[in-house]
Structure 1
């Protein structure tokens, strides 16, 4: 998508935590990234992570 001059706000992976890049992630990779993000938020005891932890 970046090669076709699509703006950053349109991509589904904004400011990746590990590398700081914007990207478009599809299918299973998106589920895996979301799971990794939630696990990281739970680990650092973030409010959003705690809400997922509590159910």
Structure 2
């Protein structure tokens, strides 16, 4: 599992498999050729370790 976190805000944008995270980001923030930036801030992709119960 992975989560995508905003570097400055700490906002969690997406949680899921790596592919799911990038798929959802692409849906929320589609790339347009006229744009210099796609996302509102730098995004960090962080691997989540499984919790031991």
TM-score (norm 2): 0.32
Greater relative contact order (Cα 8 A, min sep 6): structure 1 or 2?
2
Structure label with greater radius of gyration: 1
The answer to which structure has the higher helix fraction is: 1
